[in-house]
Structure 1
Amino acid sequence: MTPKVLISDKMDPKAAAIFRERGIEVDEKPGLGKDELKAIIRDYHGLAIRSATKVTADVLDAATSLKVVGRAGIGVDNVDIAAATARGVVVMNTPFGNSITTAEHAVALMFALARQLPEADASTQAGKWEKNRFMGVELTAKTLGLIGAGNIGSIVASRALGLKMKVVAFDPFLTPERALELGVEKVELDALLARADFITLHTPLTDQTRGILSREALARTKPGVRIINCARGGLIDEAALKEALDSGQVAGAALDVFETEPATASPLFGTPGFISTPHLGASTSEAQVNVAIQVAEQMSDFLLLGGVTNAINMPSLSAEEAPRLKPYMALAEKLGRLAGQVLGEEVRSVAVEVEGAAAELNPKPITGAVLAGLMGTYSQTVNMVNAPVLAKERGLDVREVRHDREGDYHTLVRVTVGTDAGERGVAGTLFGNKAPRLVEMFGVGVEAELAGAMLYIVNNDAPGFIGKLGTTLGEAGINIATFNLGRRDAGGEAVALVAVDGEVPAAVVEQLCGLEGVREVVPLRF
Structure 2
Amino acid sequence: MKILVSDDVAVEGVNLLRHNGYDVDIKVNLDEKALISCIGAYDGLITRSMTHVTEAVIEAAGKLKVIGRAGVGVDSIDIKTATQRGIIVVNAPTANTVAATEHTCAMIMAITRHIPQAHNSLMAGEWQRERFTGIQLKDKTIGIIGVGRIGSRIAKRMQAMEMRTIGYDPYIPAERGQQLGVELVDLDTLLASADYITLHTPLTKETRGMIGAAEIAKMKRGVRVINVSRGAVLDIQALAAALQSGQVAGAAIDVFPEEPLTQDINPFLHMDQVVLTPHLGASTVEAQIGVSVDVAKGVMAALQGEPVPTAVNMAPVPPNVYNVIRPYFDLLERMGIMGVYLADGPMREIQVEYTGALADTETRLLTTAALKGALNPILQDAVNFVNAADVAKTRQVTVKEIKSQASDTFLDAVSLRIRTEKGEHTLVGMLFNKKEPKIVQIDSCRVDFTPEGYLLLAPHRDEPNMIGQISTVLGQAGINITSMQVGRMNEDGTNIMAIAVAEDIPNDIMLKLRAIDGILDMKLIHCELH
Structure 1 length as normaliser, TM-score?
0.59
Is it true that 1:334 corresponds to 2:341 in the alignment? no
1:120 aligned partner: 118
Contact 2:45 2:67 in 1 (8 A): yes
2:271 aligned partner: 271
Q: 1:340 to 1:183 in 2, by over 3 A?
A: closer
SS in 2 for 1:129: coil
2:200 aligned partner: 202
Distance 2:154 2:306 in 1: 34
1:287 aligned partner: 287
Contact 1:168 1:192 in 2 (8 A): yes
CA apart distance, 1:165: 0.6
> Which of 232-241 and 131-140 deviates more?
232-241
**Which of 214, 226, 229 does residue 227 from structure 2 map onto?**
229
1:351 aligned partner: 358
Contact 2:208 2:232 in 1 (8 A): yes
The equivalences for 1:69-84 within 5 A come to: 69-76=67-74
Q: Deviations over 1:245-299 (max 9, x none)?
A: 2222221111222223333432324323111122222222222212211110012
Is it true that 1:248 corresponds to 2:246 in the alignment? yes
Distance 1:141 1:273 in 2: 22
Q: 1:51 to 1:400 in 2, by over 3 A?
A: same
The one-letter code matched in structure 2 to 1:136 is G
Distance 2:400 2:358 in 1: 6
Is it true that 1:187 corresponds to 2:185 in the alignment? yes
Distance 2:190 2:36 in 1: 45
The one-letter code matched in structure 2 to 1:282 is A
Identity of aligned residues (%): 41
Q: Deviations over 1:125-161 (max 9, x none)?
A: 2111111111211111111111111111111110011
Unaligned residue ranges in structure 1 (runs of 5+): 316-325, 342-346, 370-383, 389-398, 404-413, 425-526
Contact 1:43 1:65 in 2 (8 A): yes
Q: 1:90 to 1:149 in 2, by over 3 A?
A: farther
The equivalences for 1:462-481 within 5 A come to: none
CA apart distance, 1:10: 1.9
Distance 1:339 1:286 in 2: 42
Q: 1:148 to 1:368 in 2, by over 3 A?
A: closer
SS in 2 for 1:305: coil
Unaligned residue ranges in structure 2 (runs of 5+): 328-353, 370-383, 389-398, 414-530
SS in 2 for 1:128: coil
RMSD, aligned CA: 4.0
Contact 2:368 2:385 in 1 (8 A): yes
CA apart distance, 1:34: 5.9
Q: 1:254 to 1:127 in 2, by over 3 A?
A: same
Q: Deviations over 1:448-480 (max 9, x none)?
A: xxxxxxxxxxxxxxxxxxxxxxxxxxxxxxxxx
Structure index of larger Rg: 1
Contact 1:144 1:197 in 2 (8 A): yes
Distance 2:249 2:30 in 1: 42
1:97 aligned partner: 95
Distance 1:6 1:417 in 2: 51
Distance 1:141 1:311 in 2: 42
Q: 1:37 to 1:227 in 2, by over 3 A?
A: farther
SS in 1 for 2:238: helix
The equivalences for 1:446-485 within 5 A come to: none
SS in 2 for 1:275: strand
CA apart distance, 1:305: 2.0
The equivalences for 1:26-425 within 5 A come to: 26-33=24-31, 44-53=42-51, 67-76=65-74, 89-265=87-263, 266-314=266-314, 329-330=317-318, 333-335=319-321, 337=323, 351-352=358-359, 364-365=364-365, 401=401
Structure 2 length as normaliser, TM-score?
0.58
Q: Deviations over 1:290-348 (max 9, x none)?
A: 22111100121012223211233447xxxxxxxxxx9xx53xx325547999xxxxx99
1:8 aligned partner: 6
Distance 1:167 1:277 in 2: 25
Contact 2:40 2:60 in 1 (8 A): yes
Distance 1:57 1:206 in 2: 26
The one-letter code matched in structure 1 to 2:275 is I
CA apart distance, 1:214: 2.4
Q: 1:40 to 1:186 in 2, by over 3 A?
A: farther
Q: Deviations over 1:162-181 (max 9, x none)?
A: 11111111223221111110
Distance 1:52 1:259 in 2: 21
Q: Deviations over 1:353-398 (max 9, x none)?
A: 68xxx9xxxx7358789xxxxxxxxxxxxxx979x9xxxxxxxxxx
